[in-house]
Amino acid sequence: MKRRVTLDVHEYVDGVSAGDRTVLARAITLVESTAPEHEALAQSVLLRLLPRTGQSIRVGVSGVPGVGKSTFIETFGLKLLDEGHRVAVLAIDPTSTRTGGSILGDKTRMERLSMDTRAFIRPSPTAGSLGGVARRTREAMLLCEAAGFDVVVVETVGVGQSETAVARMVDFFLVLMLAGAGDELQGIKRGILELADAIAINKCDDEKPETVRRALGDYGAALRIVRGEGGQGDAWTPRVVRCSGLKGEGLDALWSLVKEHRLALEAHGEFVARRGAQAVAWTWDLVEDTLLGSLYASAEVRALRSGLETDVAAGRLTATLAARRILEVFLAVAAQPQP
């Protein structure tokens, strides 16, 4: 029997609420769709599921390629399953700017975790979204929460501005780093230190103890310089810890740190405020994305684009004047009454 392409609102809501992973996957596909009819249906589903969301611990994990993010997340996820949690992993996949293809390899790299019915792994293509973060990742996170997953891990590609985007949608932002890779602080961006709630030196089992101690000291000193003694007001001081994603060492202490961080923010009244600020920022991000998408899709703008770009490239027109002309045309069209 051929499966229907889309379900109705009640089937999506009932399936997600029951924790049906197949329906959850289809619901995420729905929110990722750019088809107008799918977007309307997706928002109806999300609106009905909204009361079931917000109860999870949201953890962002970032790090340079080769730091062992996927191995760490799988081992960490399996540990949380053993403690009785249900874990969802939203792994942001880089999308080819040339072909539009997505690697989508996280289920292969997290094979043990993906086979457990208490876990859910969703690789999401970035679709060229700013910083490598899929536009609908936050809505996918809400769906996972509505399905009963009480820990949601968002993995970034670790490049561009993806760290900033993910840090704005999670409760705890963890940055994985390596020791013994030359100058540990060389190349680390100040922005990472400003965002991190903790830095974990991964693969410590592969390094000499003195190398790990030096890395811990260097990162700790860098955090104190950038963040001061207390990060996020005085509620939390970012920490530097050691771990091994491959062997599972240090993960108990790291999970305790995540819970300690949440209690600290709740005690200072910052947790609810942060979630609210994230929702507001999310709203304006969607406004900006929608406006930009409408501008690029405008037939009138497309008609101007080639000529304006040619004039700017040839030095016959300034970029400011070209941008002004594009906006004038776009706003004029937008102001016209709809039929």
* CATH classification at residue 297: 1.10.287.130
Within a domain: residue 13? no
Determine the structural domain holding residue 211 and report its residue range. 52-268
* Shared domain check, 294 and 263: no
Residues in a beta bridge with 124 = 92
Q: What are the tens digits of pLDDT across the range 274-313?
A: 999 998 988 888 888 889 889 998 999 999 999 999 999 9
Is residue 2 situated within a structural domain?
no
CATH number at residue 89: 3.40.50.300
Check pLDDT > 50 for residue 23: yes
pLDDT digits (tens, 9 = 90+) for 162-193: 778 888 899 999 999 888 654 545 556 667 77
pLDDT value for 127 = 56
Instruction: Assess whether 92 and 193 both reside in one domain.
Output: yes
Q: Of 268, 296, 326, which closes a domain?
A: 268
The verdict on residue 131 lying in a domain is yes
Whether 149 and 102 map to the same domain: the answer is yes
Residues 134 and 230 reside in one and the same domain: yes
251 and 290 belong to one structural domain: no
Same structural domain, 182 and 316: no
Provide the domain count of the chain.
Answer: 2
Are residue 292 and residue 242 in the same domain, yes or no? no
